[in-house]
Structure 1
Amino acid sequence: MDTDKEQADYYFSLLKSLSKETKFHLVNKLIDSMIEDEEAIQNEREKSLEELHSRIDHSIDALDAGKGIFSDEVFSKMEQKYPWLCTE
């Protein structure tokens, strides 16, 4: 992270001599780049959410088809496998 800041400082010193118009052009390009990055992050979140919903739907379909086990059976297996975690 510090090296990024050092590089930015270095490039800034080089860019100081540019015209206002060119500086505004660079600022716009940086903003566009940041927006693209944010959109990519949002797209990944949406994909993750879609995948989560898909998995939930698949699980519900499997339960509706009679596949899966009831919670009391899960807890019983957990108590057998990890008795030290199930003390009351």
Structure 2
Amino acid sequence: MGFGGISIWQLVIVLGIVVLLFGTKKLRNLGGDLGSAVKGFKKAMTDDEQKEASEAQENKKLTADDAAFTKQDESADAAKEKAKVDSEK
């Protein structure tokens, strides 16, 4: 017994008929096209993952820069308040 009740001999016969109908050259081209499609799909998936990782890293950097800028603003505001309080005395 093979796959789902199909024996090895039945698979060999089907393969032989496919080769006779399409020829080895056309099957080779079909296999190459299928391989190229899979390779392109994998490359696209890898590129997307790399793009997402670089965007996440960029966002993390921007968030850190924003935090530093906000801290500088708060320091400047505190200095202005202190100067204002000192001038009122």
With structure 2 as the length reference, what TM-score do the two structures score? 0.55
- Per-residue deviation, 1:46: 0.3
Query: If each structure's helix is expressed as a fraction of its own residues, which one has the higher value?
Result: 2
Q: Which runs of 4+ in 1 moved over 3 A?
A: 9-13
How many residue pairs match? The answer is: 64
The SS at the match of 2:57 is helix
- Per-residue deviation, 1:10: 5.6
Pair 48,58 (structure 1): closer, same or farther in 2 beyond 3 Å: same
Q: Look up the match of 2:63.
A: 62
Q: Which whole-Å deviations, capped at 9, do the CAs of 1:9-56 have from their partners, x for residues lacking one?
A: 86554233534x722101110111011001100100000000000000
Q: Look up the match of 1:45.
A: 46
Residue 27, structure 1, aligned to residue 37, structure 2? no
- Taking the aligned partners of 2:15 and 2:37, their CA distance within structure 1 comes to 23
Pair 57,24 (structure 1): closer, same or farther in 2 beyond 3 Å: same
Output the aligned Cα RMSD. Answer: 3.3
Pair 57,48 (structure 1): closer, same or farther in 2 beyond 3 Å: same
The SS at the match of 1:24 is helix
Identity among equivalent positions (%) equals 10
- Taking the aligned partners of 2:36 and 2:10, their CA distance within structure 1 comes to 24
5+ residue gaps, structure 1, are 68-88
- Taking the aligned partners of 1:32 and 1:10, their CA distance within structure 2 comes to 27
